[in-house]
Amino acid sequence: MQILLANPRGFCAGVDRAISIVENALTLYGAPIYVRHEVVHNRYVVDSLRKRGAIFIEQISEVPDGAILIFSAHGVSQAVRNEAKSRDLTVFDATCPLVTKVHMEVAPRQPPRRRVDSDWPCRPSGSRRHHGTVQQPARGDVPGRVAGRRAEAGSEK
């Protein structure tokens, strides 16, 4: 049987970066390393990291004080960052730079400089169940400003 592999192939740069951060943390610090949410949507990669000592969690409360925590490629809200800081956790941020860029676009700024800083509702596109979609981390940072569906967003301006 002949198997042909597409080229280029593999993960996007943000996912590749996140995997490298977890692998490097495991190499440098050893197990256990806690990762908030599965770092990527690939069970083979996640299982491999789990075998090396990565523990995937959903709530910061699952991480012992003083432990090492990595934020997944999908990003986290400012509330999660603050909770990790208050718990004296060593944090590595593996958030994809493109996800961070989107989060910064919807975050309010003083003084307002862009359309998203006005009264316009933000309406993300993508799966509402996918952690990388803006609504997951940004809902906590921008209360009342991010709508997941047209009906939630109200009238178009």
pLDDT tens digits along 55-94: 999 999 999 998 999 998 888 888 888 999 898 899 999 9
* Domain presence at residue 82: yes
Percent over 70 (pLDDT), the chain: 60
**Amino acid 134: pLDDT:** 44
- Taking alpha carbons only, the member of 40, 101, 94, 55 closest to residue 71 is 94
Which of 54, 74, 96 corresponds to the end of one domain?
A: 96
55 and 80 share a domain?
yes
85 and 113 share a domain?
no
105 and 127 share a domain?
yes
* Domain presence at residue 54: yes
- Model's pTM, two decimal places? 0.69
* Domain presence at residue 155: no
d(CA 131, CA 135): 8
- Taking alpha carbons only, the member of 42, 72, 40, 38 closest to residue 55 is 38
50 and 104 share a domain?
no
We report the CATH number of the domain holding residue 44 as 3.40.50.11270
pLDDT tens digits along 24-62: 999 999 999 999 988 877 889 999 999 999 999 999 999
75 and 131 share a domain?
no
In which band, very low, low, confident or very high, does the pLDDT at 156 lie, cut at 50, 70 and 90? very low
**Amino acid 46: pLDDT:** 92
Q: Kindly tell me if the per-residue pLDDT of 139 is higher than 50.
A: no
* Domain presence at residue 89: yes
Which residues sit opposite 68 in a β-bridge? 90
Range of the domain at 139: 98-146
51 and 108 share a domain?
no
